[in-house]
Amino acid sequence: MSKPDNDTLSFNIIQTKQGFKDLEEEWNQLFEVSGRPSQLFQTYNWIWHWIDQFPAPPQNLVILTGHQNNELVLIAPLMLTKKVGIKTLQWIGEPVSQYGDIVIKNDGNNLKWLQQGLSFLTQSLKPDLFYLRKTRFDATITPLLENYGATILLESQAPYIEILGAKTFAEFNKRYSQRSRKSKRRHRRKLEDHGALSFDFFKEGPQAEQAAQHAIDLKRRWLKSIGLVSSAFQGPILDRFFQKASCSETHPTGLRVSQLCVDDRPAAIEIGIQNKGYYGAHLGAYDPDFIAHSPGSLQMQDTISALIDEGVEIIDLFAPGDPYKFEWTQQSVPVYDFSYPLSFKGHIYEKIYLKRARPWLKRCVTKLSDIKKRFRKKKKV
């Protein structure tokens, strides 16, 4: 543990589950006062479920804590991986977290504390690089990474919707054109031709668990239909994570599941997370049998109405900025994949793999998916 002076924090690195559990009360107190609404994935409870369901060797867990006069004022939830001899520090949470960041007490010394924390991590663990994916432009750590000249490997956009004080969905909906509103009403009438529509907005509990599992099943079905392979949906771990996170009484995550049904058959489902008046639309899925009537858009309408009733002010649609998301808003925040090498090996890994090989492999996967789509279309014809 480092020794503090008047302006320096006392840092420690937690690498055991028990050490993490011992932080619960302090972590929750810090987050209650200083956690940002957009830090949905840095709550203690969310990370508790991640650690519980995504087991990793103890040395992979790296939770940096900073104390000032015995008060916890900084938490950096990270993990250490080692591939091809490269030690990499990255955010905890893949594949279920959309953002990574540091929770820190609001103070004039924030940038200095972050610099001290990074130096302590570097000296203690001697990583080859930081690879911090899904870091928002307005994240706590972004100014430090920019000051250090960290490389932006990828920039995407996370669209978001501002409620702007609307008290009802009817009031909120006035911001859209008459043509857009008319189109959605027409889709709703067409969908009603298939059966009676019903909408549910589940908070944590057995109903939320059941609906979340159905959403994952529909998502797998869709991925298979377009020939995409997602590592996140391989195996049962993702299912178990959302099963636990959607109905935990001891570690609630703020999970919400909205579901639009046609004669009790789910047509579109969304798994979201709510925190401090902020909502993240985490995972959406729809039944392809109803695709002609835009069930996902209709479900979003009903979800926004429910969120307005709950007092939500911001709805985050997350990256990437797909066109259908910008049908709801023109606002977005940049989200970056940062790389910051700390050794010669780290520089080489960044230059050869992160900047060249990895993007090339992703393009190959995309092209292969497009080929599979065209093949399936021809086969149907």
Q: Do domains 10-157+334-373 and 164-312 have the same CATH topology?
A: yes
SS (H, E, C) the chain: CCCCCCCCCEEEEECCHHHHHHCHHHHHHHHHHHCCCCCHHHCHHHHHHHHHHCCCCHHHEEEEEEEECCEEEEEEEEEEEEECCEEEEEECCCCCCCCCCCEECCCCCHHHHHHHHHHHHHHHHCCCEEEEEEEECCCCCHHHHHHCCCEEEEEEEEEEEECCCCCCHHHHHCCCCHHHHHHHHHHHHHHHCCCCEEEEEECCCHHHHHHHHHHHHHHHHHHHHCCCCCHHHCCCHHHHHHHHHCCCCCCCCCEEEEEEEECCEEEEEEEEEEECCEEEEEEEEECHHHHHHCHHHHHHHHHHHHHHHCCCCEEECCCCCCCCHHHCCCCEEEEEEEEEECCHHHHHHHHHHHHHHHHHHHHHHHHHHHHHHHHHHHHHC
Identify whether the C-beta of residue 117 lies closer than 8 Å to the C-beta of residue 76.
yes
Residue-by-residue pLDDT tens, the chain, 381 positions: 444 455 789 999 999 999 999 999 999 999 999 999 999 999 999 999 999 988 666 669 999 999 999 999 999 999 999 988 999 999 999 999 999 999 999 887 899 999 999 999 999 999 999 999 999 999 999 999 999 999 999 999 999 999 999 999 999 999 999 999 999 999 999 999 999 999 999 999 999 999 999 999 999 998 888 777 788 888 888 999 999 999 998 999 999 999 999 999 999 999 999 999 999 999 999 999 999 999 999 999 999 999 999 999 999 999 999 999 999 999 999 999 999 999 999 999 999 999 998 888 877 766 666 666 565 555 554
Identify whether the C-beta of residue 319 lies closer than 8 Å to the C-beta of residue 335.
yes
In degrees to the nearest 10, what's the CA dihedral of 96, 269, 199, 160? 60
* C-alpha 170 chain-centroid distance: 29
Instruction: Report the alpha-carbon distance of residue 170 to residue 36 in Å, rounded.
Output: 29
Domain boundaries, the chain: 10-157+334-373, 164-312
Instruction: Report the alpha-carbon distance of residue 315 to residue 240 in Å, rounded.
Output: 26
- What is the fold, at CATH topology level, of the domain defined by 10-157+334-373? Aminopeptidase (3.40.630)
Q: What is the pLDDT of residue 146?
A: 96
What CATH superfamily classification does 164-312 receive?
Gcn5-related N-acetyltransferase (GNAT) (3.40.630.30)
